[in-house]
Each structure stands twice: as C-alpha cells, then as structure tokens.
Amino acid sequence: MDFDNRDKSIRQLGFEFAGGSTDGLALWREQRRAEERRLGMELGLPIGSFCEVVLTSGIQLRGDLVLDEPDLFHYATRKHAFLRIGSVSFSISEIADCVRLE
C-alpha cells in the first residue's frame, strides 16, 4: 500500500470551501434571513416576527409571519405576496391589520 497516496486522499476530504470562517449552511441561512428582512421592509410587513394579523374576512391570526413560498429564492412583490401564520396562508391583499407583538 502506498501511504503517500493514502495521505493525499485523506487531505482532499478536508477541503474548507467557506474559508474556515463558518459553515456554508449557516451562511446560507443568514443570507436568507437578511433577504426576508429586506423583502419585509419593501412590503411594509414584519416578516419573520411574532405578529397578530387581522384579515379582511375578520379572521384573527397570531404567530410568526412568514413568506408562503416553497422556492429557495424570494420573488414576492407587494401585489403578489403570499404569507402564512401557522397553517393559514393568505395574500397580502387580504390583510386588514398587522401588528408586531415582539
């Protein structure tokens, strides 16, 4: 057995693609949270926060306000945004009132 080649293959498995500062998944999650905050500012809603939302139908919801998108990248606009609290999804146009409770 050639021990020099074995050592090289072990070292190859140890590449640090994120430069050793943080793991890639944590970095992606932080970037996604920043994108949600930015989108929340554009929409004028506290996305990612604990809120009470009153819909135009009179339904009151309380919980974490999140985007209702299965996509990896957010593309919601003020006209077409779909949001969710718990298992209830609704469009931005259905919101009569939204108050951040945190």
Query: How far is the CA of 2 from the CAs of 7, 10, 13, 14, in angstroms?
Result: 9, 13, 18, 20
- The answer to whether 92 touches 77, Cβ cutoff 8 Å, is no
In which domain, by residue range, is 14 found? Answer: 3-100
pLDDT score for 2: 56
Return the amino acid letter for 14: G
**Count of domains forming the chain:** 1
Q: Which two tokens stand for residue 49?
A: 């926060």
Q: Which two tokens stand for residue 67?
A: 């985007």
pLDDT 10s per residue in the chain (102 long)?
Answer: 555 555 555 555 555 555 555 688 888 888 888 888 888 888 889 988 999 999 999 999 999 999 887 555 555 556 677 899 999 999 989 999 999 998
Which helix (H) or strand (E) is 30 found in, with range?
helix 24-43
pTM assigned to the model: 0.67
Beta-strand pair 82-85/60-67: antiparallel
Domain of residue 16, CATH code: 2.30.30
